Amino acid sequence: MVREQIPKLSKSRFMAGLQCYKRLYLECFHPDLADPMDAGQQAILDAGTRVGELARNLYADGLHISEPYFQHEDAVISTQAALSDNSIPSIYEAAFLYDDIMIRADILARAADDLFDLIEVKSTTSVKEEHLPDLGVQLYVLGGCGIPVRRACLAHLNKEYVYQGGDYDLRQLFSVEDITGEVQPLLVDIPSILDEMRLHLSNPDPPDIKARKQCSHPYTCPFYGYCHADETEHSITQLPRASQKLLDLLEEEGIEDIRDIPADFLGLNATQQRVRDCVVNGLVHVNPELASALAQLEYPIHFLDFETFNPALPFYIGTRPYQVIPFQWSNHILGRDGQLMHQEFLNEGFCDPREPFARGLLETLGTTGTIVTYSNFEATRIRELAQALPELSSDLLALLDGRIVDLLQLVRRHCYHPEFHGSFSLKSVLPALVPSLDYSDLEICEGDQASTAYAEMILPETSADRRGSLRKALLAYCKRDTEAMVRLFETLRGGEFPSYKKTYE
């Protein structure tokens, strides 16, 4: 049995099908199964929209085809009228339909000899592999509609652009690359790819495709939660840094759960073998070197965490697209006598937060004591601050001179708990080792949410009440991160893991 009628494809659906035929099928027939869009994802989409609108000014005096996407036939009619008017130099969101594929071209600019330049706008800072078929399917449709294209271009943000204040210098902010030569060869395969997609869409059931690497490459699939809902508790995908070759080898042996991997299975590296042994035997692995490493920390011990944001379009003079800007820190300070003190900073004005952030950081960290972080993120930001603030450079770099200890690396190297499920992130390690502490009572629970909240907080149009609410939520979240590090440190130092046996090397 096959479907008598299948939906039209679009550029986005074509790209979804290239990632996974099951994703395409679900987007067409079961969009309600998609994961809810979080604030971070929405912020990325909003940034892309803003970048796209700015890029139109590179091709000024054009006509915007204003019909929404669900009125595609009307948009096609408006586009045809604009194409017939030679006084219109460029068309934004031009709509076309060919071979049951709907596209909206970001910018279609008139060129010499009745040709057109096709410009796809991306909010990235370079041309990426996945951009090529995006432009390829547009060329396929334009060719079918009889639109002669001189060049297929990708306009992206220029990561070397430094904002000088005022209006953006668009010719410097954007790079427009002619990638016709890379896109053109893809056209020959598009008809067969479309046939394959439509074959899957004609079936009454979604294709049986296992959740694997394609679920997060090149983007996280919106149906990730749905496709992983029936995954076993200790899926082989939880093996740290498992290659597709290893996953395929395990599947060939009929193995989908780590607990089913034989002890003598070849192909696991040392870390993966440790994960397998802990999961199979219900053990916590603790290397005695961990206690030795923790004992070497010097008091007062500073547990440090930063929050940052990286706007696609730079906010502050002297910054670049996507430059990481730290705006908040939390520092829990553990004294030798066991006393715990907390200090914090959150930039609340509209000015560049980096200098007040750095000055406060230097004051809270002083010149003595180990600085504990969870990853090298904070160290990287300190180096960037040292480069951006020459007058504070030597003091900032001194923080990196033997004082920072990365707790993540210690955990990854010396400890494994079956409830990590293959991840060493703080959000995975904490519930396993410190189950009494979590983030469920907080309004902000993830770093992306914090970035989005801060970007909203500093908007001039944000109300005072909303700004106060965001401030409170940001302070609570960053404080919880460093509190979690303190509790994790105490657990690791004490070596007590209830309900699990321990194995030592």
| DSSP assignment of 416-437 | E-GGGTT--SHHHHHHHH-TT-
pLDDT of 269 over the 90 cut:
yes
Of the three residues 197, 225, 259, the one that is the final residue of a domain is 197
Please tell me the distance from the alpha carbon of residue 8 to that of residue 6, in angstroms, as a whole number.
7
**Shared domain check, 304 and 265:** no
For position 501, what pLDDT does the model report?
A: 58
238 and 324, same domain (yes or no): no
Q: Examine residue 148 and say whether the peptide bond preceding it is cis (omega within 30 degrees of 0).
A: no
Domain harbouring 347, CATH code: 3.30.420
Final residue in a domain of this structure, among 197, 221, 250: 197
Percent of the chain with pLDDT over 70: 98
pLDDT bucket at 278, cuts 50 / 70 / 90: very high
Together in a domain, 122 and 28: yes
**Beta strands 283-286 and 101-110, pairing class:** unpaired
**Same domain, yes or no: 269 and 385:** no
Q: Let me know whether 277 and 295 are in one domain.
A: no
Q: Reply yes or no on whether the pLDDT at 127 is more than 70.
A: yes
Question: What's the pLDDT tens digit per position in 150-187?
Answer: 999 999 999 999 999 999 999 999 999 999 999 999 99
Confidence of residue 67 (pLDDT cuts 50, 70, 90): very high
pLDDT value, residue 337? 95
Quick one: 387 exposed, middle or buried, by C-beta within 10 A (0-12, 13-18, 19+)? exposed
pLDDT band (50, 70, 90) for residue 505: very low
Is residue 40 in a domain?
Answer: yes
CB 407 within 8 A of CB 488: yes
pLDDT at 499: 56
Taking only the tens place, the pLDDT of each residue in 417-454 is: 999 999 999 999 999 999 999 999 999 999 999 999 99
Per-residue pLDDT at 21 exceeds 50: yes
Whole-angstrom distance, CA of residue 503 vs CA of residue 281:
10
User: Which one of 281, 315, 344 terminates a domain?
Assistant: 281
Average pLDDT over residues 55-65: 96
Note down the domain range covering 257.
233-281
Q: How confident is the model at residue 42 (pLDDT cuts 50, 70, 90)?
A: confident
Start-to-end CA distance of the chain, whole Å, equals 59
Number of domains into which the chain is organized: 3
pLDDT at 87: 96
Mean pLDDT of the 113-131 span:
97
Residues 102, 180, single domain; the answer is yes
Indicate if the pLDDT at residue 461 is higher than 90. Answer: yes
Same domain, 320 and 343: yes
pLDDT of 416 over the 60 cut = yes
Is there a single domain that holds both residue 29 and residue 103? yes
Residue 218 lies in a domain: no
Residue 210: per-residue pLDDT:
85
Establish if 209 belongs to a structural domain: no
pLDDT value at 29 more than 50: yes
pLDDT in the model for residue 38: 85
- Residue 373: inside a domain: yes
Whether residues 392 and 271 fall in one domain:
no
92 occurs within a structural domain: yes
Q: What is the pLDDT of residue 437?
A: 94
Q: What is the CATH number of the domain that holds 159?
A: 3.90.320
**pLDDT at residue 206 greater than cutoff 80:** yes
Confidence band for 497, pLDDT divided at 50, 70 and 90: low
Residue 208 lies in a domain: no
Strands (E), 407-503: 415-416, 501-503
Q: What is the pLDDT of residue 504?
A: 43
Q: In the predicted model, is pLDDT for residue 502 greater than 70?
A: no
- Asked if pLDDT for residue 319 goes beyond 60, the answer is yes
- Residue 129 forms part of a structural domain: yes
- The pLDDT > 90 percentage for the chain reads 88
Residue 492 has pLDDT above 70, yes or no: yes
Q: What's the pLDDT score for residue 500?
A: 58
pLDDT at 498: 54
All residues at 6 or more sequence positions from 216 whose CB lies less than 8 Å from its CB, including other chains: 224
Does one domain contain both 175 and 295?
no
User: Residue 396 is encoded by which pair of tokens?
Assistant: 């900032």
Q: Are residues 132 and 173 in the same domain?
A: yes
Same-domain status, 239 and 365: no
Q: Is residue 296 part of a domain?
A: yes
Looking at every residue in the chain, the average pLDDT score rounds to: 94
Q: How many CB atoms lie within 10 A of CB 141?
A: 23
